[in-house]
Structure 1
Amino acid sequence: MIEQNFIEMFIEEMNEEGRSEATVRNYVYDLKYFNKWAQENVEEFDPAQRGTGGVPTHKQAFKKYATHLKNSGAKPATINRRLQSLRTFFNVMKRKGHVEANPMDGIKPKKVAKQNETKWLDRNQVKAIFDEIKRIANDKKRVKYHAIFSLMVNAGLRVDELVNLKENEVDFENKLITVTNGKGEKFRHVPLNKATAQSVRHWLLYREDLDVESDFLFPSERSPQMTTRGVQHMAGRLNENLKFHFTVHQLRHTFLKNVADTTGKIEIVASLAGHDSVDTSRRYIEPSMKEIAEALNGNEYDF
């Protein structure tokens, strides 16, 4: 088992590296999932094979854990994320001198078909979302919703980036948004298009009337800053009346897919997405399963 003090040390390291709240939350969830398995399979761990401070290093046990995941029926993406979470954790432990080697080295991820299954929304679905926003009776709430969802689908902001966005990071004159991480460090610039700029300006007129002092573009009614859960709750309210279900992250996928389709250049997608590697952005260049199906539809043999 991985002791709590090492998990806390890992969380602190991830926060210092500027990882998003969602990423850190997933890491912690995956480590606890591993701990649950380890408790049920304690016989797999040799007490003698532990690093400094008691970090488990028994490679054979981690191989059996990987086999357990691959036979669990979970989606390949979930399996690979859980393996990667452990790999990242032990990389930190190795860097800090608590283990000599990463026990996850050599443990391969579950193979995933190369066809792109990333989900993004089509134009009619995006229109339906904004049509639903326009039905909100309360003026201030409607305008706030419109600005928030415009920034996600037209600028590709992650939810944590959106709630950390400050008013002075929206540059109307130069038509740029400065996106920062949770520690306020500059991350990237994203163009501010005309429609989104108009939506944000409209929100600023209502923001002035809020009885709360804040530098953030989207304070809540009672605190200087909205939470990611607050934005997800807004999406949930919209989903109640839609004929399809969407997530806030799909809005970012939609933005990046549109950039990929318009430019055809993976470097531009990576720059706007804030990806460290262009390989992460490749999913938006490759055709989706829906696009493949549509391309094959006219070639189907039906005798």
Structure 2
Amino acid sequence: MLTPEALPLAREVEAFSQFLKIEKQLSERTLDAYRRDLRKLQEYAHTRNLQSLDTINHQEIRLLLAQQHRSGNGGKTLARWLSALRSFFRFAIKRGWLEANPADGLQAPKSPKKLPKTLDVDQAGQFVQLDGDDFISLRDGAMVELMYSSGLRLAELVSTNVQDIDLTGASIRVTGKGNKQRELPVGRFAVAAVKRYLGVRELHANATEPALFVSQRGNRISHRSVQARLEQISLRQGMGQPVHPHMLRHSFASHMLESSSDLRLVQELLGHANISTTQVYTHLDFQHLAKVYDSAHPRAQRRRQDDDTE
């Protein structure tokens, strides 16, 4: 396997990485994503013996795009990849290495819209009812109750500090995408679960740690740890499928829409900048209504019975 330094365009990719790190001040996680996307270009250039930027033209990028699509990459993945390439080529043009952007005009194929998986109300209730009074059980119980109660993103849950939650006022202040803050209500079950957890948190948290949820080492719990804990809870609660943090958020949104039919309210609670992002839950709501219709409407029942006898 070739090292990054041995691949074509190594100098240009490294210069671009330094630009993103120093001038754009992107996080290491985002930088890694750019490097992975550009490595695909470098490996393709190696197989095609394209050793310089000026040999990579529009047709080569089109061929690589088709190749990745055939290998199973979806529309969103390919759109992100094309975006990374366009940024890299724009950087190359500013440096005088290229005259035109070979990725311009290319579009990723559209992926079929997948509806997010959700738990129904009974399943959600089953999942969040955790037993145990030890530190881990109380912490996990507070986490899942809070995620489901307020529709939090994983990053919002992990970044929450003790001072951000007001148990008396039953509210929480979170920082969402784009560093936008919003205040959310917290349900009574979540309030009770957090109160129980706070009773043991101080015995485990480091003295200067502001995070609401901490690991056994006393530091802020990581994203991966929360995901792993939810996977284990899924098994213990007999869910029959792994429940991930975003599934609780989807379930929160779906259940709120089923009860209120207020799309703007759900948009506000979820922190969506565009209501079109929230509208996916109207499809979930329709699925719920269709299921109720099929089980309740006499003509729907007759149709199903007739179908069974054919």
TM range (shorter): 0.7 to 0.9
CA deviation vs aligned residue, 1:203-242 (integer Å, no higher than 9, x gap): 1111122251211101222243111111112112223332
**1:109 is matched with which residue?**
108
Question: Does residue 285 of structure 1 match 2:286?
Answer: no
User: How is 1:146-225 mapped onto 2 (pairs within 5 angstroms)?
Assistant: 146-180=141-175, 185-210=179-204, 212-213=206-207, 214-225=209-220
CA deviation vs aligned residue, 1:15-63 (integer Å, no higher than 9, x gap): 75xx896xx48834751662465255434x572528xxxxxx7332222
Distance 1:186 1:283, change over 3 A: closer
Distance 1:289 1:105, change over 3 A: farther
User: Structure 2 residue aligned with 1:6, among 16, 32, 36?
Assistant: 16
**1:140 is matched with which residue?**
135
TM-score computed with the length of structure 2 as normaliser = 0.75
More helix by share: 2
Whether contact under 8 Å (2:89, 2:102) holds in the other structure is no
Letter in 2 for 1:6: F
CA deviation vs aligned residue, 1:176-210 (integer Å, no higher than 9, x gap): 21112599x45322222222122112211111222
Q: Size of the alignment, in residue pairs? A: 284
Identity fraction in percent? 21
Distance 1:282 1:223, change over 3 A: same
In terms of mean alpha carbon deviation, does 277-286 or 4-13 score higher? 4-13
Larger Rg: 2
In terms of mean alpha carbon deviation, does 116-125 or 196-205 score higher? 116-125
Letter in 2 for 1:49: D
**2:40 is matched with which residue?**
34
Question: Does residue 260 of structure 1 match 2:257?
Answer: yes
**2:69 is matched with which residue?**
70
Letter in 1 for 2:123: Q
Whether contact under 8 Å (2:75, 2:109) holds in the other structure is yes
Whether contact under 8 Å (1:20, 1:160) holds in the other structure is no
Whether contact under 8 Å (2:13, 2:38) holds in the other structure is no
Structure 2: which 5+ residue stretches go unaligned? 1-8
**1:53 is matched with which residue?**
none
Distance between the aligned counterparts of 1:274 and 1:14, measured in 2?
A: 25
Question: Does residue 270 of structure 1 match 2:281?
Answer: no
Distance 1:85 1:187, change over 3 A: farther
Distance between the aligned counterparts of 1:143 and 1:130, measured in 2?
A: 11
- Higher relative contact order by CA 8 Å / sep ≥ 6: 1 or 2? 1
Distance 1:86 1:111, change over 3 A: closer
